[in-house]
């Protein structure tokens, strides 16, 4: 038995509602300045995606520079205002791992933010962009000696140490240079964010951070976190700035940040008292969520800032301590929604899938699911296969009055898991040559991109004031072959 079920498919997940208008953009998934023109073509700052495709090809990451700058300013202004009476404001570090190139690094600096890096390569981008060392931080659970030396060469503002072994290595390298390394200790406060297991980073059983649990070292009654504080204060080549935590990613509610902040403040106060030291800084990490689908409900920065400030204020008052200088590390929340990926549709096919009948006791019914293949895939967006991440999509090259059809947007790679958008309603007349746009791809898409199946990685176009320019050139076949040393270049 088969049925079309009035266009509402029982195969769709419960959260996926049938849109009132398939041609309408659903906020807040899109950057400011993205809209449909009278011809139904998606535009950004007035530039039609058809023109972008003609000039730059597809797949293509399309970013609003103005939207990026606005979101960066919003974080800086909101957190400065919320913490003004507590610690004079907040140091906002843009998490470069989400997406980094020299243009973005320059925007970050121009908007008054600092930059968080996680490797020597990201430090190299920062240096090329002219970012001053004191405005940089270096993360990473396994920094090489070369990366630590590079950070010291650049006089970075802080090295975030992830383990006791690394603390000893940083101290030894700095001592050998006759220098003092500015260090923060990354702790795991045991606050579990409601997110995918692989992006929840504050629980104990994972690679990041120093445990605050008392039985986390062989030394009875001493946590790894406290052992690190004691060690850091004993090294003449280390200046211990303070503590750091990061509880996960794609978090919508501020409660977890508040709980983690309170735990770290209590630990900070205990360490200051026990070791007669001052820890002047506390970093509460990032992980603020964005809207990938219509049901996602991100909080505005001001709301998150005020909730976190209330906890810091009350906890410091209760403990009778001077509030440390607070810092945060938003990445996705700044860049994620600034960008959409533009694809061209290729092949299409419809399959039949069994599902329980809608009436009680009814036998299984087969329903249609359409596969819409595009000219990119997991090489430009690995998040669905890595994290089961959900996205949305819209027909970008025209309007349509066709009926909605449950669709799965897939890539062109030789993997069954090569899914770009698992479930979305698209017009039934979508055809080869149409353009699709997937919003919310600014974070961790280009950054995780690959050359699987020898596909060239897409370029990134920044649009501002009606003008588009490449900020990252798309790769060519020549780029792919240049590193292949098997046959001499002819």
Q: Which residues are catalytic?
A: 414
Q: Is 56 exposed, middle or buried (0-12, 13-18, 19+ CB in 10 A)?
A: buried
Cis peptide bond N-terminal to 108, omega within 30: no
Question: DSSP string spanning 79-122?
Answer: HHHHHHHHHS-EEEEEETTSS--HHHHHHHHHTT-EEEE-SHHH
DSSP class of 442: T
Contact at 8 Å (CB) between 312 and 48? no
Q: Which residues pair with 306 in a beta bridge?
A: none
CA distance 128 to 135: 14
b/e code 187-223 from CB counts within 10 Å (16+ = b): bbbbbbbebeeebbbbbeeeebbbbbeeebbeeeeeb
Contact at 8 Å (CB) between 126 and 151? no
**Helices 120-128 and 102-110: crossing angle, nearest 10°?**
70
Contacts of 33 (CB under 8 A, 6+ apart): 44, 45, 64, 66, 67, 463
CA distance 192 to 185: 19
Residue owning tokens 């007035």: 46
Of the candidates 437, 470, 478, the residue with the CA atom closest to the CA atom of residue 103:
470
């Amino acid at each position: 038995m088969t049925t079309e079920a009035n266009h509402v498919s029982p195969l769709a997940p419960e959260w996926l509602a049938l849109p009132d208008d398939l041609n309408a953009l659903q906020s807040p998934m899109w950057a400011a300045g993205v809209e449909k023109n009278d011809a139904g073509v998606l535009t950004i700052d007035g530039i039609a995606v058809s023109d972008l495709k003609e000039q730059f090809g597809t797949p293509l990451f399309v970013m609003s520079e103005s939207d990026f700058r606005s979101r960066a300013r919003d974080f800086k202004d909101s957190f400065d205002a919320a913490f003004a009476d507590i610690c004079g404001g907040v140091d906002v570090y843009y998490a470069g791992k989400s997406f980094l190139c020299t243009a973005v690094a320059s925007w970050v600096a121009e908007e008054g933010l600092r930059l968080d890096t996680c490797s020597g390569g990201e430090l190299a981008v920062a240096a090329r962009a002219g970012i001053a060392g004191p405005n940089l931080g270096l993360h990473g659970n396994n920094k090489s000696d070369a990366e630590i030396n590079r950070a010291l060469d650049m006089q970075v503002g802080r090295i975030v140490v992830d383990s006791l072994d690394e603390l000893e290595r940083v101290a030894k390298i700095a001592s050998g240079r006759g220098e003092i390394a500015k260090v923060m200790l990354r702790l795991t406060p045991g606050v579990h964010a409601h997110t995918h297991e692989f992006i929840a980073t504050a629980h104990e059983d994972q690679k990041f951070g120093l445990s605050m649990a008392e039985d986390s070292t062989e030394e009875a009654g001493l946590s790894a976190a406290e052992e690190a504080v004691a060690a850091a204060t004993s090294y003449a080549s280390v200046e211990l700035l303070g503590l750091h935590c990061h509880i996960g990613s794609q978090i919508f509610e501020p409660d977890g940040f508040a709980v983690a902040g309170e735990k770290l403040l209590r630990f900070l106060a205990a360490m200051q008292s026990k070791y007669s030291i001052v820890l002047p800084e506390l970093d509460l990490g990032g992980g603020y969520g964005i809207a990938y689908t219509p049901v996602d409900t991100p909080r505005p920065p001001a709301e998150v800032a005020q909730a976190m400030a209330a906890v810091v204020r009350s906890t410091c008052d209760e403990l009778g301590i001077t509030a440390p200088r607070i810092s945060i590390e938003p990445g996705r929340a700044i860049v994620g929604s600034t960008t959409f990926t533009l694809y061209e549709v290729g092949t299409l096919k419809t399959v039949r899938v069994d599902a329980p009948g809608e009436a009680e006791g009814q036998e299984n019914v087969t329903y249609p699911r359409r596969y819409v293949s595009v000219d990119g895939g997991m090489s430009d967006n690995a998040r669905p296969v890595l994290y089961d991440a959900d996205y949305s999509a819209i027909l970008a090259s025209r309007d349509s009055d066709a009926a909605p059809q449950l669709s799965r947007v897939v890539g062109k790679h030789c993997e069954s898991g090569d899914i770009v958008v698992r479930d979305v309603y698209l017009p039934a007349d979508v055809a080869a040559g149409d353009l699709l746009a997937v919003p919310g791809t600014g974070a961790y898409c280009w950054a995780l991109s690959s050359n699987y199946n020898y596909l060239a990685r897409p370029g990134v176009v920044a649009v501002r004031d009606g003008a588009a320019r490449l900020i990252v050139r798309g790769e060519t076949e020549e780029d792919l072959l240049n590193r292949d040393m098997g046959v001499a270049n002819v």
